[in-house]
Amino acid sequence: MAEAAKVRITRPALRGREWLVIAGDHLAAQAGARVLQQGGNAVDATVAAAAAVGVVEPLRSNILGGESFILLWSAADRRPFVIDGIGYAPAGATVERYRELGGVPQHGLQASCVPGAFDGWVLALERFGTMTLAQTLAPALELAEAGFLVSELLHETMVQQFETQLKHPATAKVFLKDGRPYAAGERLVQPDLVRTFRKLLAVEEAHRSQGRGKALQAARDFFYRGEIAEAIVRFSHREGGLFDEQDFTRYEAAVLEPIRTAYREWEVLEIPPPSQGITLLMALNVLEGYDLKGWGWQSAETIHAMVEAVALTFADREAYIADPSFVKVPTERLLSKAYAEAQRRRIRPDRSLTWPVSGGLGDTTSITVADAQGNLVSVTTSIGAGSVVAGETGILLNNRVRMFHLDLNHPNVVAPGKKVRMTLNPAMALRRGRPWMAFASPGGDVQPQVQLQSFLNVVEFGLTPQEAVEAPRWVSTAFPNTSLPHKPGNALQMEPGFPEAVRQALEAKGHVLARPGEMGSVAMIVRDEQGGLHGGADPRREAYGIAW
């Protein structure tokens, strides 16, 4: 019989009776907790945490300049919903234009999609929240105005992006102090962002007499059809960017249905394409046919099966997944159990797959929140690696265009108005039809892989949420990277903590082991049968949770 899984955790296990919030930074978690203490629900708290994390993790996320996918369970509706706050490529973003430039830039305005996050957050707040924008943005406004002390992680990110920031005066003005990156412990204030926040809140206040929903829409329109969009477009024209006013005025976030699959007694929910979330569900379908528990936690057999399932599903991602408004995505076929069985037959127990693998058919942050009413929210929100601050608005724009391809035969080829295939894929699991787990992670192509491992750590191997997110991880690179230059690595990155005998057994199967790189930062909440909340906050970054 396989030995029971054991993980020595470095953080206390999180338990709550009423609510639990986990975010990528302790200040963002406190922002969400404050709103919950003031009577807000999980959606209100998630908006507060997302706004705050955009202030204190500004090079990873921005509620105004980034993109967000929100997966939530509405207790009132007794069903799940997806909020699509993902922007699209501007009208000037053509293959011809980028070929003239010599390729898609990694940074700068020519790498930016229309920011969809703010509309997504307003839609979530209007449809599923209870509070005003002023109430939910209050902690973020305070942090931007009074400042916060720069963390070690933010300092390291500033150092990594130093040369890029120097090229853009508006960006350097915000994130450099006397021409250098802020040191850990120095206070960072963002007055331009404060002014933008205050303008949005002033518009909301001016329309309060028309009701909460109308006031929220007025703030939303001020961003996409008013002064803020106009300022971003003027800056774009001045700096050689691709935005025009129509890119903003025609943008609308949307409420979608999640995609789903059954894994044993659980139903796992994900974000539909153009998210890569389908890869998590496809991998679970393949792995359901194996006795992972019998093989044992962290055994060579278990890891090999999981890695091979990931390689197959990411091959399908490359072949089929893109914006369904532009390409036909065979979602139903990819998620069928018959297809999973066929894929499982392609896995050899003694030999690893390497790229190219054919398709079988022919910088970011995460937040999870649960409340006493039974609402559950799982979010991944991002600006990619960040682009450039849009002049005096203080808004750091995303650089998501860099995830497009220029190959006309690739499903994810760039086109005006097209949404890029998005790495963001917050997940949720139901048990007996009720919301049971919310889990999400940043990390690009790492996201579904570490979410897969964390989920199986709980459901197959009996780990607690905190143990599940702290357990040693692996990441496969046996597929083209989402980001430029889209090259496969064909390596298996493994953290310390795996037995040497397991590593040797994996090498004997053909896996090329490598030092760990990005390993994500999972935020996980589980609601037990008595309604108790149990959380896991990943120490790989600076994630923290607060429970009551």
Residue 358 has pLDDT above 60, yes or no: no
Opening angle at CA 181, ends 180 and 184, nearest 5: 130
Residue 353 has pLDDT above 80, yes or no: no
Q: How confident is the model at residue 359 (pLDDT cuts 50, 70, 90)?
A: low
Tell me what pLDDT residue 356 has.
Answer: 55
Residue 360 has pLDDT above 80, yes or no: no
275 bridge partner residues: 422
Mean pLDDT of the chain: 95
Tell me what pLDDT residue 399 has.
Answer: 92
Beta strands in 215-343 (DSSP E): 254-256, 259-263, 266-270
Instruction: Find the mean pLDDT for residues 458-474.
Output: 98
Could you please report the per-residue DSSP string of 336-397?
Answer: -HHHHHHHHTT-BTTB---S----TT--EEEEEEE-TTS-EEEEEEE-TT---B-GGG-PBP
Tell me what pLDDT residue 548 has.
Answer: 98
Contact 522, 451 (CB under 8 A): yes
Residue 434 has pLDDT above 50, yes or no: yes
Which candidate, 376, 520, 366, 354, places its Cα nearest to that of 453?
Answer: 520
In the three-class reduction of DSSP (H, G, I as helix; E, B as strand; rest coil), residue 10 is classed as coil
Percent above pLDDT 90 for the chain: 89
In the three-class reduction of DSSP (H, G, I as helix; E, B as strand; rest coil), residue 104 is classed as coil
Strand pairing of 14-16 and 20-23? Answer: unpaired
Q: Which of 364, 368, 393, 423 is catalytic?
A: 364
Tell me what pLDDT residue 4 has.
Answer: 61
Q: How confident is the model at residue 5 (pLDDT cuts 50, 70, 90)?
A: confident
Opening angle at CA 505, ends 503 and 507, nearest 5: 70
Q: Between residues 235 and 106, which one has the greater pLDDT? A: 235
Beta strands in 37-86 (DSSP E): 67-74, 79-85
Q: What CATH number does the domain located at 256-364+431-530 have?
A: 1.10.246.130
Known catalytic membership, residue 364:
yes
Residue 524 has pLDDT above 80, yes or no: yes
Tell me what pLDDT residue 517 has.
Answer: 83
Could you tell me the residue ranges of all domains in the chain?
Answer: 20-254+366-403, 256-364+431-530
Q: Which of 147-151, 355-359, 513-517 has the highest mean pLDDT?
A: 147-151
Contact 286, 340 (CB under 8 A): yes
